[in-house]
Chains A and B, each alone.
Chain A
Amino acid sequence: NAGVTQTPKFQVLKTGQSMTLQCAQDMNHEYMSWYRQDPGMGLRLIHYSVGAGITDQGEVPNGYNVSRSTTEDFPLRLLSAAPSQTSVYFCASSYGGNSNQPQHFGDGTRLSIL
């Protein structure tokens, strides 16, 4: 049972490039979400999904897109990378359609934008 798997673990991009951060879970969880964590800060919600075909914006959605075509996968797309998007990105999943259920987090993707 792999839990929540994020790929890649590390990535360096140039300003203006685009890329997709992958997130997959094998627990049949309905709820999935993306957070970013900056040095010395807590996690901030980017986007979330309560089920396949349904996505919504979180606290800091600008510059990011998501889609949820399957229950298992929830990719995060950076449309045109900016230095301000340098951060550690975490994907999480849980049972049900709300955030009160225990969230299962991946180990993160460390992204640097030059």
Chain B
Amino acid sequence: LAKTTQPISMDSYEGQEVNITCSHNNIATNDYITWYQQFPSQGPRFIIQGYKTKVTNEVASLFIPADRKSSTLSLPRVSLSDTAVYYCLVSGGGADGLTFGKGTHLIIQP
């Protein structure tokens, strides 16, 4: 499984756009990039998944450059409730589960 590197923590303010970048230099051809969000005392929750270019849903956007060695999760107009840990995962879809790193602890202030 490709290893990912993301910032340990980030701070922002309500109403701002937040971008969290993840590096995955040894991503394989059949790997997808997936982001999960985890609140305290809860299990992770799927946010978004992509393979290349840009993916957007009602929660976030995911930007993936042509070389796919990094990806950026974009959260538009964050609120206090977006304070959580965000995990970037790279997986080829094998049956042997997901590899979660330590994630990025995002703190949103008023």
- Residues of A with Cβ closer than 8 Å to B? 4, 31, 33, 35, 40-45, 48, 50, 56, 58-59, 90, 92, 97-100, 102-108
**B 65-110 contacts with A by CB, 8 A:** 87, 91-103
Are A41 and B96 in contact (CB-based, < 8 A)?
no
Pick the contact of A45: B49, B92, B97 (CB < 8 A).
B97
Q: If the complex has contacts A100-B32, A100-B91, are A43 and B96 also in contact, measured as CB distance less than 8 A?
A: no
B-side interface residues, number (CB < 8 Å): 24
Bound-complex Cα distance A56 to B46 (A): 23
Are B46 and A102 in contact (CB-based, < 8 A)?
yes
Chain A residues contacting B92 (CB-CB under 8 Å) are 100
Chain B residues contacting A4 (CB-CB under 8 Å) are 43
Cβ of B106 to closest chain A Cβ, rounded Å: 15
Does B29 interact with chain A (Cβ within 8 Å)?
Answer: no
CB-based A-B contact count at 8 angstroms? 70
Q: If the complex has contacts A42-B101, A103-B44, A105-B43, are A48 and B96 also in contact, measured as CB distance less than 8 A?
A: yes
Pick the contact of B96: A58, A92, A104 (CB < 8 A).
A58
Bound-complex Cα distance A104 to B96 (A): 16
Q: If the complex has contacts A92-B43, A108-B42, are A99 and B96 also in contact, measured as CB distance less than 8 A?
A: yes
Cβ of A47 to closest chain B Cβ, rounded Å: 9
Pick the contact of A105: B41, B45, B91, B93 (CB < 8 A).
B45
Does B34 interact with chain A (Cβ within 8 Å)?
Answer: yes
Are A58 and B43 in contact (CB-based, < 8 A)?
no
Cβ of A34 to closest chain B Cβ, rounded Å: 9
Are A102 and B44 in contact (CB-based, < 8 A)?
no
From A56, A99, A106, residue with most partner B Cβ within 10 Å:
A99
Pick the contact of B95: A97, A105, A107 (CB < 8 A).
A97
